[in-house]
C-alpha cells in the first residue's frame, strides 16, 4: 500500500496538482480468483455507491472539473434537457449522435436535440455489422458535431467515466465528435478504480464482461510532440458532464 501511495503521489505531483489521492486500505480489489468472493466484492462496491451516492457524486464533480470536464448540475430531467439543448445551440450542432443509455430517454434527449434544429441518430456497436454498415456508422460518427452518452460507471477518485461499447453504444460516439456530453445519475459513481476492478472481475468470472472498456478523464490530450500538451488531438476537444441530481 505504501508503494501505491508513493506512486500516486508522484503522478499527482507530475500533473501539477496539490491534492494527493490517498489509497483506501479497505477498498475492494481485483486480487482474487474465487467467483463467490468476486461477486461479494462487486456487491459491496455497488452498495457503497448507493449508500454514499451524494458524497461520491460531489467528489466526482470536483475531480471531473479538475480533469477538464465542464461540469453541470441538473436538479431534474427538464434542467438536464435544457443543458443539452444549450450546448447544442452553443456549438451550432447540425448532427448529434446518442447512445441507448436509459438516462437519455429519461431526460427527453430527442426533443432536447431536435428543438435546436439538429438531427439525432444512434451509431451501433461495430462488432456484428457488415462492412457497409460499419463504413456508414464510422462516417456518421466522424461527421457528427456532438456525441451524447450516459455512463456505465464513474470514478470519484479520478473524475473518470467508464463506458462498455456494445449494441447501442459504439465507442466512436464518445471519441469521434469534437464535443462529448455524458449524463450521470446518482448510484453510478464508484469510490475508486479498486471498486471498478472489483465490478469488472465479477463480470469476468460470471461471463458477463464486455469486450472492451473506455475510461474517459476529460478531453483528449497528447504530449507526443516536443513534450507540449495539446488538447483534442485523439478525441473530443470539449467534454461536458451533466450530473442529474433528481432522485
Give me the residue spans of the domains in the chain.
2-244
Beta strands 238-244 and 179-185, pairing class: parallel
Read off the DSSP letter of residue 68. T
DSSP-assigned letters across all residues of 164-198:
--BTTB-THHHHSSSEEEEEEETT-EESSHHHHHH
Cβ count near 21 (within 10 Å): 16
Q: What is the pLDDT of residues 136-166, one digit of tens each?
A: 778 888 999 999 999 999 999 999 999 998 8
Helices 35-51 and 53-67 sit at what angle, rounded to 10 degrees? Answer: 90
CATH number of this structure's domain 2-244: 3.40.50.10420
Q: What is the pLDDT of residue 72?
A: 98
CA geometry: angle 30, 157, 101, nearest 5 deg: 80
Q: State the Cα–Cα distance between residues 115 and 93, nearest whole angstrom.
A: 11
Query: What distance in Å separates the CA atoms of residue 42 and residue 28, rounded to the nearest whole number?
Result: 8
Task: Report the pLDDT value the prediction gives residue 23, as an integer from 0 to 100.
Answer: 53
Radius of gyration from C-alpha coordinates of the chain: 18
Give 132's strand partners.
Answer: none
Q: Which residues of the chain have pLDDT under 70?
A: 1-2, 4, 19-33, 124-135, 210, 220-235, 247
d(CA 240, CA 74): 13
200 neighbors 213 (Cβ within 8 angstroms): yes
pTM for the model: 0.81
CA 166 distance to own-chain centroid: 14
Amino acid at each position: 500500500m505504501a508503494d501505491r501511495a508513493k506512486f500516486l503521489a508522484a503522478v499527482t505531483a507530475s500533473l501539477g496538482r496539490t491534492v494527493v489521492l490517498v489509497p483506501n486500505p479497505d477498498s475492494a480489489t481485483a486480487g482474487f480468483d474465487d467467483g463467490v468472493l468476486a461477486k461479494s466484492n462487486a456487491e459491496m462496491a455497488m452498495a457503497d455507491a448507493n449508500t454514499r451516492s451524494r458524497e461520491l457524486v460531489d467528489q466526482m464533480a470536483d475531480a471531473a472539473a479538475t480533469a477538464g470536464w465542464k461540469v453541470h448540475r441538473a436538479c431534474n430531467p427538464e434542467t438536464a434537457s435544457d443543458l443539452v439543448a444549450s450546448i447544442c445551440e452553443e456549438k451550432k450542432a447540425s448532427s448529434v449522435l446518442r447512445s441507448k443509455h436509459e438516462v437519455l430517454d429519461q431526460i427527453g434527449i430527442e426533443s432536447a436535440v431536435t428543438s435546436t434544429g439538429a438531427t439525432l441518430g444512434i451509431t451501433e456497436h461495430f462488432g456484428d455489422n457488415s462492412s457497409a454498415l460499419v463504413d456508414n456508422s464510422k462516417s456518421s460518427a466522424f461527421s457528427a458535431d456532438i456525441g451524447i452518452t450516459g455512463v456505465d460507471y464513474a470514478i470519484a477518485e479520478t473524475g473518470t467515466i467508464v463506458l462498455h461499447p456494445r449494441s447501442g453504444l459504439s465507442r466512436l460516439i464518445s471519441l469521434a465528435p469534437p464535443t462529448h456530453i455524458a449524463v450521470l445519475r446518482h448510484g453510478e459513481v464508484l469510490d475508486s478504480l479498486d471498486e471498478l476492478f472489483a465490478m469488472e472481475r465479477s463480470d469476468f468470472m460470471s461471463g458477463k464482461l464486455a469486450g472492451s472498456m473506455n475510461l474517459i478523464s476529460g478531453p483528449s490530450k497528447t504530449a507526443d510532440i516536443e513534450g507540449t500538451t495539446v488538447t483534442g488531438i485523439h478525441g473530443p476537444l470539449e467534454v461536458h458532464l451533466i450530473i442529474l441530481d433528481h432522485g
